[in-house]
Amino acid sequence: MMESGAHFCNSCGEQIGLDANGEVFVACHECYFPICKACFEYEINEGRKVCLRCATPYADRAKDNNDTKVYENQSTTAAQINVSQDVGLHARHVSTVSTVDSELNDESGNPIWKNRVESWKEKDKKKKKKKSAPKAENEAPIPPEQQMEEMQSSEAAAAEPLSMVIPISKTRLAPYRTVIIVRLIILGLFFHYRVTNPVDSAFGLWLTSIICEIWFAFSWVLDQFPKWSPVNREAFIDRLSLRYERPGEPSQLAAVDFFVSTVDPLKEPPLITANTVLSILAVDYPVDKVSCYVSDDGAAMLSFESLVETADFARKWVPFCKKFSIEPRAPEFYFSQKIDYLKDKVQPSFVKERRAMKREYEEFKVRVNALVAKAQKTPDEGWTMQDGTSWPGNNSRDHPGMIQVFLGHSGAHDIEGNELPRLVYVSREKRPGYQHHKKAGAENALVRVSAVLTNAPFILNLDCDHYVNNSKAVREAMCFLMDPVVGRDLCYVQFPQRFDGIDRSDRYANRNTVFFDVNMKGLDGIQGPMYVGTGCVFNRQALYGYSPPSMPKLPKSSSCCCCPSKKQTKDVSELYRDAKREELDAAIFNLREIDNYDEYERSMLISQMSFEKTFGLSTVFIESTLMENGGLPESADPSMLIKEAIHVISCGYEEKTAWGKEIGWIYGSVTEDILTGFKMQCRGWRSVYCMPLRPAFKGSAPINLSDRLHQVLRWALGSVEIFFSRHCPLWYGFAGGRLKWLQRLAYINTIVYPFTSLPLVAYCTLPAICLLTGKFIIPTLSNLASALFLGLFLSIIVTSVLELRWSGVTIEALWRNEQFWVIGGVSAHLFAVFQGFLKMLAGVDTNFTVTAKAADDTEFGDLYIIKWTTLLIPPTTLIIINMVGVVAGFSDALNGGYESWGPLFGKVFFAFWVIFHLYPFLKGLMGRQNRTPTIVILWSVLLASVFSLVWVKINPFISRPDSASISQTCISIDC
């Protein structure tokens, strides 16, 4: 066996490697079954503590790895390495072993090793006599040919793609596309009928309905066609490990910088932020490759103190998670799971350690909640730190930049002595008179700080209330970003947003299931999903405004249809940036060639390249932008990095630079996420949608009706701002021709959907007006018209059914999405349009209120709370007038006789369509136990009174004789 190549692991086919004493690693001292240290640790972590061959329990090696024995002669090792070189296996090890060949080829051999071999042979013979023949065959050594095949298969698996596109089945997609085309044809015939058959008796109502219906059809086209080619993707984490995590070698996985942003700790509870940070620190990824940056944009001492407590608790929590493979690794959500926590946990010590950890976490919560209670009332003199000095952030609008490194390479280790990921607190400088650009400005500050301190090639940003639910989520993203083929032109990997704390019925469509499971899958088949603000892993180079390495070929005509075609290879801005990058690269190279140069000469050379106009006045940061694979520049002075990091977060650093214009998070909209992703994809970058079986991240959704409407208002206002800006997808980014047309349609849909509120409000009012006036927007239907209406409704239903079939979304989720589209459209979207016009015409800017993240003690308690807001007025009005209209319609029918019931059906149908869609709003308006706010009752009574007066004026129960009969009566009277 020893001569047949047992130097290689029988599990993964890699070399066994050496232990801490420099001897060949041995797992089982009974049968000396060849297994490498990585596979051994994997078996231990999986709970299998017995040898794979002889079933002998492994020795306890978790605490003491020094008690290992060599099972192979060094000369044999050298011979096997030479054999492996001859056959072309593991050729990358040739240079590393060539320096020790003289020691390995010692002819005298090792007497200790010979004794161990003899003792092993004697034990092996005794075991063979005791065991039956079938078992002896199972214990036979693996032939060298078979072992070579296994090693070759392992190498082949490592060379395979790290991800795979799984197209939707043609049996599901072909009918879906066919129905879309059929529905488009029916729409054309329907509008031909509607336009050519006006209603003269209600011309104003008819014209209004035609305009609304045309807009709805246009919105449907914008929403439907980007879903033409949906795809699924699968990532192979095992192949990623085979390729970049070789046993006995340092991990080659790329480093990742995590960004967590928070503003107000009283609205975004520190305990939720702490859980997010803890889940990041415990992620399943090499600790030296992970850094967590927490941005406190409110400069609150409460956030800082809670982060201090979090760093201390992480020393206990992180090793516990990794030891027992805990999921999820946010303690609040792990301990609140209603599952059997003993499932798949076979370690005897697990129950004891879990109980102890739960007690530790409860004590941690008490300390954090005590800090929160203390922070409810700010002292008159401001907060004071432990050393007696005043807290620099007492004035949240006027304070210096602050950076504190808690954990990391030079920080505290965990309770087992292992290294922890780096944790950095950042609060950028703020001064009066400077524009800080809210969340986008905070994210850009984190980009610069992380580039100076760690400069990981990839960035993962999370909101403070989104924790890591899948510890392998980063590895899932790396399967795309580190793939040599897929990751070359990849700007980011977007994960879907999933939420906790939502009732089963999802009354207000907080989960956004249709958007994340339907629309985003469709975009993934074109140029990639949009950036949705959180749960996204970025390529840092894409954030710097660079174009992808392999530029897409430009079409012959890259201008719009109204302009003459011009042959272009690159737009001017891209050529300028690429040329500037080459110049700066040459300048830095020349600097490194100079033996004796001072900092002044260095800064002068770089300033000549004018890169300060793009990235700002920081030579360290500018050099870091050239390092595509990350890492700190060689010329960086570690003792000066913190000082440089303070400099790049100063309030005036971005003045007269390209930050927020061409690089980093883009300014100009409260929805900076859409704008940032749009700019990247206009440069030719692609994105990927990653949906692992276990959700990667989970967050807390604002389930309260008022908070939900304010959240939708913020999104809609951001879209309106983009519509009125120079970055509007209707006209921006045509020069390069790198944004695909279906992708452009999707971005156009994201900025014009708030304007649908205007025709939607009008269309929801029409049924009530028709019922009150006795008129209708549709003339008497012919057979052809009836067939068109029936075909239109059937096509809508079939499209939805086929969409549900390939996406996996439930019909309840689709219906909730449809309902809240109407609720949000007639309230939040309507206000967003008017606020957008005010900002454009009068310069009136609206302030964004952070939605509360905490709920009441009772389950879904926040769902029943009503907070008065003007957004509640339009939906309330629509519900009342449609209910009044239904009553008026039935009154007219009772008074008019049998003939009036036929026209009533169409009017009542549309009125009930409005009421059914607004039903969740009505239910939320009533609150728990029908406790409706007084102002809502007063508003409803006022509206009901107005419509009652109008109704009395109409006099529905009095017959209306026509003018002809009146004139005939007058003639017959002899005056």
**Spatial distance between the Cα atoms of 82 and 60, rounded to a whole number of angstroms:** 34
CA distance 935 to 870: 11
Q: Quick check: is 673 catalytic? A: yes
Q: How many angstroms separate the CA atoms of 304 and 168, rounded?
A: 48
Question: Hey, what are 464's tokens?
Answer: 């403070």
CA 782 and chain centroid, separation: 51
3-class state of residue 273 by DSSP: helix
Task: List the end-to-end C-alpha distance of the chain, in Å, as a whole number.
Answer: 133
For 225-299, where are the alpha helices, taking DSSP H only? 237-244, 270-281
| DSSP labels, 718-774 | HHHHHHTSTT-TTTTTTTT--S-HHHHHHHHHHHHGGGGHHHHHHHHHHHHHHHHHS
Distance, C-alpha 238 to centroid of its chain: 23
How is residue 870 written in tokens?
Answer: 């003007």
Binding residue per annotation — 267? Answer: yes
Among 852, 862, 867, which residue's Cα sits nearest to residue 268?
A: 852
Q: Which of 880, 925, 793, 590 is nearest to 183 (CA)?
A: 793
**Residue in 673, 707, 862, 892 annotated catalytic:** 673
Q: Is 121 annotated as a binding residue?
A: no
**What span, in angstroms and rounded, lies between the C-alpha atoms of 766 and 771?**
9
CB 534 within 8 A of CB 466: yes
Instruction: Give the C-alpha distances (Å, rounded to integers) separating 389 from 395, 403, 492.
Output: 15, 17, 43
- The reply, when asked if residue 46 is annotated as ligand binding, is no
Closest C-alpha to 307, from 455, 426, 449: 426
Cα–Cα distance measured from residue 502 to residue 388, given in angstroms and rounded to the nearest whole number: 44
CB atoms within 10 A of CB 450: 25
Strand pairing category for 163-167 and 536-539: unpaired
**Alpha carbons 918 and 897: distance in angstroms, whole number:** 31
Please check whether residue 570 is in contact with residue 578, taking contact to mean a CB–CB distance below 8 angstroms: yes
CA 24 to chain centre: 44
- Joined together, the tokens standing for residue 377 give 């009332």
DSSP assignment letter at 298: T
DSSP 561: T
Distance, CA of 364 to CA of 923 (rounded, Å): 39
Q: Is 439 labelled as part of a ligand binding site?
A: yes
Amino acid at 69: K
The structure tokens 């859409």 sit at: 674
SS (H, E, C) 94-148: HHHHHHHHHHHCCCCCCHHHHHHHHHHHHHHHHHHHHCCHHHHHHCCCCCHHHHH
For residue 470, the one-letter residue type is N
Of 257, 297, 571, 892, catalytic:
297
585 is a catalytic site residue: no
The reply to whether omega before 143 is within 30° of 0 (cis) is: no
Question: At 436, which helix (H) or strand (E)?
Answer: none
Q: Which residues contact 240 (CB under 8 A, 6 or more apart)?
A: 162, 253, 475, 478, 479, 482
Question: Does 438 belong to an annotated binding site?
Answer: yes
517 is in an annotated binding site: no
CA-wise closest residue to 650 among 452, 384, 389, 386: 452
The CA distance from 657 to 242, in Å, is 43
Helix axes 705-723, 672-682, angle to 10 degrees: 40
Distance CA 228, CA 207 (A): 32
Residue type present at position 440: A
Is 761 within 8 Å of 823 (Cβ atoms)? no
β-sheet bridge partners, residue 404: 425
Residue list for the binding site for UDP-alpha-D-glucose: 261, 267-268, 297, 438
Mind telling me the catalytic residues?
Answer: 297, 673
Residue list for the binding site: 261, 267-268, 297, 438-439, 463
Residue list for the binding site for Mn(2+): 439, 463
